[in-house]
Each structure stands twice: as C-alpha cells, then as structure tokens.
Structure 1
Amino acid sequence: MAVLIYSRLLWSVRTRKEKHSLRHIYTAFSKPVNFSGIHNFTAMGLLDDRMIYYYDSSMDKKIPKQKWMKERLKPDYWDKGTEFLRREQMRFSDIFNQMRQNSSDTHVLQWMHGCVGEEDKNGSVRFQDVEDGMDMYNFDGDEFLPNDTEKQEWAFAADAKLFPKMEAYQVKECMDWMDTFLGYLRSHLRNATLAAPPKVFVFKTPAKEKANIVLTCLATGFYPKDITMEIKRDGRVLTADDGLVSTGIRPNDDDTFQRREHVEILRTDSSNYTCRVIHKGFSIDVEETWGNIYIYIYFNSLSTFFFFCQFVI
C-alpha cells in the first residue's frame, strides 16, 4: 500500500513585510493500518511550519507541542479542542462510509485548512479578505477544493455538507488566532534571544581536494526567520551555478533559526570574497571580508541586545 502524504509549502518571504501562516492538517485512513506510529486519524496545527498542537485517535487528546502554548492556554482550551477533533474524526468516518470504492482497499483522506497573512506596521496580522484562507482536500494523492466535490463522484457520494468550505468569518477567526499565537511566540523568543544572542560566523575549512578550501558563512540564533545571506566574489553575488551550496533556513532547538552557505574555491584564488547578512528584524546589514572580527551592538524598544559578527580565517 502506498501512502501519499499531502504537503504544500505555504511559507513565503517578501521584501518588506513578513508573511505568516497557520495551518491545520487532518489525516484519516479508511481502515486500520498496522504500522507503528500510524493512527486512524491524526490532526496537527502548524504555525509558520512549527507544530503547535497534536491529536491522534489512539491518544484521543489534543496536546500542546510548544512550551509557550501549554503555558499560555488554559486547560479548557485543550478540552474543547479535543471534543472538536473527535467530531472531525467522526466526519471523516462518515465520508469513508459514503465512498464508492472497493472496501478491501485502504484509502487516505487529508484536509488542510488555515490562513496566511502579512504583518502590518505594528507587527500584527489582520483579516483582509476571504482569499487569505486556505482550504484543500486530498484523496489518495489527488487534490480537490471543497466546492469541487461533484468532480469527485468516483470517490464520494455527492453530499457537499461533508465538505464545508471556509467562510469569511472562519478565515477572520483563523487570522485572530494566528495573531494571538504569534504574540505568544514573540514573547517567548524575546526571552530566548536575551539568553542566546544571535551570531554570524565566517570561516574556512579544508576541502577534499587539497588544492581547494571551503568558505562558509553561518548565521544562527535569529528570529524572525526572514534573513538574506549572500557570498560574493569581487562584488558579484554567487549562485548555485558558481558552486554555492545553501542549507536554507533551518530551525534550532530553542525555536530560533539558522542558515549556512558555503562555496569551494582554489587556495590560490586571489579574488575578494565577502559575506553579506541582512536581518531586518534587528536592523542588521553586515558585509565584511574574511579575516576581520567585528562586534555589532543594536537596540530595540524593549531591551538591549548584542549581536556578535565573528569572521575568522
């Protein structure tokens, strides 16, 4: 049996405004699957691709997956969430009961819904339009929208009530919750940043080819995740065509992020190589040549932070 897991990247970064997302993903199987860790029904919530809650049919309980979610939300929130997901589990069961497929087969139905929004000048996300919502089903790898159920008669009985489409008020509610969760997260990360200031390291390491060296630029401990990193040769930004390798933005264990890029060059290369790092969240724009050491101090409205940029050859 092939299980097709539905995944879509809904995070994007714009030049001046940071974009955020809140997604809820439910997954159900038409019959029990005998694989460890796979449940008949699973639900999870993702804030900017970070899991914030989890539920499965075996555990039968909605639980927080972030410390700050557990600290900020009262037990009543989790109790009501558990009851809601139990109802959703029953709705998915009703859908499978109406399927027009061979009952001996195992099918997978997933639903992803939520919202995306850009920060305003105050750092908040607000409802603008119903188009800010996301609402998509996936059946055995085939995607369809809630209002496209008639095209899926090969799989389901034509009962549109089982596939409700997000209304404007639901998108607004989603945006309000996303803004609340982001507030909780920012408060948590402000404390984390005080304990572990963000750092940038530029260094070189030996390459497999003895005639070459690897130049690496690493930025770590930053939040939000919107960051620009460039390695340049004589002022020209290097790309993958030049052999540049990037890890992209990855999470750290303390909810901050990191990014690393490197390029392999000849030891005899006399070009001027620099690394530029831009992080607008802290008004940082640094570009220095390998071999220098700098310490940058910056301020924000809440407290004083120290940003260390260390360049080592």
Structure 2
Amino acid sequence: MKSPCCCLLSFLLYLFLFSWTWANPEGTFTIRLLQTTTFQNTSFVHTEGLGLLEDIELGSLDKHTWSIHFYQPWVCPALPQSDWDTIDNLLKIYLQQFSHLINEGAMQRDVPYPFVAQCMAGCELYPNRTSRTFAYVGYNGQDFLSFDTENASWTLSQDTNLSRYVWSVLQNYTTLSELVEVLFNDTCVDDMEVLLNYGRAALERQELPVATVFARIPSLDQLLLVCHVTGFYPRPISVAWLRDGHEVPPGPVLNTSTILPNADLTYQLRSILAVAPHDGHSYVCRVRHRSLGNRSLLIPWGNSEVMLITGLMTGLLAAMAIAAVSVLWVCRQRKHQQMAESESRNSILSKQA
C-alpha cells in the first residue's frame, strides 16, 4: 500500500497531465487542489475538495462518496476512463490514510478536538516548459507545513508537537523526489502534444470591460472620482487615472480596490481618486485589458458634469420660487375678489333696506 504522501502526489500529478496542456503556451499557468478536512472527533471526519486551473473550477469532491464531480465538459474526456478510475482509487486511499495519520498524531499529542486541517497542492508551468510543484498544509487557519521543492523535503511553518510528528512521518518518504522527477520530466512532456487542445477555449476566453466614471462629494472641499470597471475576463487588468494626460502615481489620494468576482464568472474593481473641486484639471480613467488588445479604454470626467448638476439644481430652485410667487399672487387676487364681492353684496342689501 502506498504512503499517504505518495498517493496525494500521484493524484496531483495525474491531474497535472491534462491541466497544464490547456494553458496558453505564452504564459504561466497553475493548477491547485484545495482540501479542507474537519476533525470533529476521532470517529467523525468531514472532507471537502476543489480543483482549480487558474480560476476555472475543474471539479469538486463529493463529501459522502469521495468521488469527483466534474464542472467542465472538457475535463472528463481528457483522460481515458481507466485513468480516472485509477485517480479515484488513489484519492480514496489518500483520504483514508490522511485521516488516520492526523487522528493518530492528534491522540498521541493530546491535540484538542475539533480542529481543521487544510491542504493546498499543485503544479505550476512556466513559458519555457519548466515546472515546479508545491504543497502547503494548514492547521486551524494557520501555516503548518510546506514542501521545499528544491530539496524535496518538508519544512515546519510552526513548531508544535503535532507539526513535528507529521513532519517526521512525511520526511521518511524518500521516494517523493524520484516520483516528481519522473512524472514531470517524462510523463507530462510526452503527453503534452496529445492533450494540448483540451480546455483551450475556456482558458482563452475574453470578456470586454465596461467602465463608468462618476463623482461623490463627501465634503465641500473634496471630490471623489470613482471609476467602476466590471464584466472583464481574464482577471489581470490595469486601471489608472490620468491628470491632464499624465498618470497619477500611487499615493494617499488614490485608492484602488482588489479585483472581486461577479456571479457570471467575470470580475470587477473600483479605483477612487480624491481631488479638490474645480481644480482646473482634466481627469480620465484609463483601462487596459487583454481583451482590448493594444487599445486602451478611456473614460473622461470633467467639471462640466458638476456644473450641469449645479445648473439643474439652480434651475429647479428658481422654478420652485416662481411657482411659490405665482401661488401667492393667485391667492391674493382671489382674496381681493372675494372682498370686493362681499362689499358689493353688503351695498345692495343696505339699499334694499
């Protein structure tokens, strides 16, 4: 029976066989396998898993059967069913032994339950076709162990009884570096030509960014210019503010958010520039993205917008004033008319008397 470490590595590199060939040969691409295992007690263990190629979700782990659910239609056809069966078996063996290893260490080192173990492992491919593997283990949200790919050894991220125990177990598997060398230098390269076209369309997908510029006025002496960019894919993007045609450097007046995901598998961000109202400068939000090619998306903002809003407000207030004066005049006219009619009736009644 294989060690848990070797089983995990085999599973990672089987996935790597078809993931790295989907990538754009001109860039660097990464596949990551994420595992979260919750140890409620010695007899109840809950495991979740997710596979990612860049930001594309390849599949997840069924927490009840430990089987793989594919999210992309091009994942399963990339390998013969016999290979997927092998991966499925290796995955189950690894998860069983992983749970046993951690539980055994927790009981021997009096680690309190419940606790959570997290693993992230995968492979990275560079444009020159060289590659590296990585593996990180976390405990209750903190770094625990990491894998040193150059020396093919595990490194302690925190020095505890449990981490030293797990480190000593993993460190004894000396076949790790040999397995990495064979699979990366031979198997992956040999299968690259066959698997190159799988998933290419998903990785090369491009969505144009949509940008809008508007202003906020938090105080009378400050104006916040907001450039909201959304709907773009892939994730890398460049957003900058130009003042009179020159890029505004990073500083306290410039605040750009992190790139956030949208529900439709695109991304969004905001860049906010603080300026003084009516400072006499022109401002443009510039967006650069792969989908735009060599072009840039330029969205200008000018003080004319504020002047327009101010003009509209002034016009509205003037109209309201005119309406108020008109209503007052009509009321007075009606009052004078009523008084005249009353005096006329009183005069008629006095003559009749």
Output the CA distance in 1 between the equivalents of 2:228 and 2:191: 33
Among 100, 105, 115, the alignment partner of 2:113 is 105
How many residues are treated as equivalent by the alignment?
Answer: 262
Q: Give the aligned partner of residue 270 of structure 2.
A: 260
Sequence identity percentage: 22
The AA in structure 1 aligned to 2:31 is L
What pairs up with 1:1-313 in 2 under 5 angstroms?
Answer: 18-32=27-41, 40-66=46-72, 69=75, 79-99=85-105, 100-102=108-110, 104-119=112-127, 126=129, 128-129=130-131, 132-140=132-140, 141=142, 142-145=144-147, 147-148=153-154, 154-155=161-162, 156=165, 158-160=168-170, 165=176, 167-171=180-184, 184-188=198-202, 198-209=208-219, 212-239=222-249, 241-280=251-290, 282-286=292-296, 288=298, 290=300
Given that residues 39 and 58 in structure 1 are in contact (C-alpha distance below 8 angstroms), is that contact kept between their aligned partners in structure 2? no
Given that residues 60 and 86 in structure 1 are in contact (C-alpha distance below 8 angstroms), is that contact kept between their aligned partners in structure 2? yes
* Greater fraction strand: 1
Deviation at 1:55, TM superposition (A): 0.9
Q: SS of the counterpart of 1:159?
A: helix
Output the CA distance in 1 between the equivalents of 2:197 and 2:231: 19
Q: SS of the counterpart of 2:258?
A: strand
Q: Highest CA radius of gyration, 1 or 2?
A: 2
Deviations 1:143-200 (A, max 9, x none): 343723799782226433579746123446679999999955541476x75xxx5133
Given that residues 214 and 226 in structure 2 are in contact (C-alpha distance below 8 angstroms), is that contact kept between their aligned partners in structure 1? yes
The AA in structure 1 aligned to 2:37 is A
Deviation at 1:53, TM superposition (A): 1.5
Deviation at 1:107, TM superposition (A): 3.8
Taking a change above 3 Å as real, the CA distance of residues 263 and 252 of structure 1, as seen in their structure-2 partners, is same
Taking a change above 3 Å as real, the CA distance of residues 272 and 104 of structure 1, as seen in their structure-2 partners, is closer
Output the CA distance in 1 between the equivalents of 2:283 and 2:113: 58
The AA in structure 1 aligned to 2:66 is D
Q: SS of the counterpart of 1:264?
A: strand
Gaps of 5+ in 2: 1-25, 303-308, 310-353
Deviation at 1:47, TM superposition (A): 1.8
Q: SS of the counterpart of 2:102?
A: helix
Comparing 44-53 with 231-240, greater Cα deviation is found at 231-240
Given that residues 22 and 178 in structure 1 are in contact (C-alpha distance below 8 angstroms), is that contact kept between their aligned partners in structure 2? no
Taking a change above 3 Å as real, the CA distance of residues 116 and 148 of structure 1, as seen in their structure-2 partners, is closer
TM-score, length-scaled by structure 2: 0.58
Taking a change above 3 Å as real, the CA distance of residues 215 and 183 of structure 1, as seen in their structure-2 partners, is farther
Output the CA distance in 1 between the equivalents of 2:85 and 2:275: 58
TM-score, length-scaled by structure 1: 0.64
The AA in structure 2 aligned to 1:29 is T
Taking a change above 3 Å as real, the CA distance of residues 287 and 94 of structure 1, as seen in their structure-2 partners, is closer
The RMSD of aligned alpha carbons is: 4.2
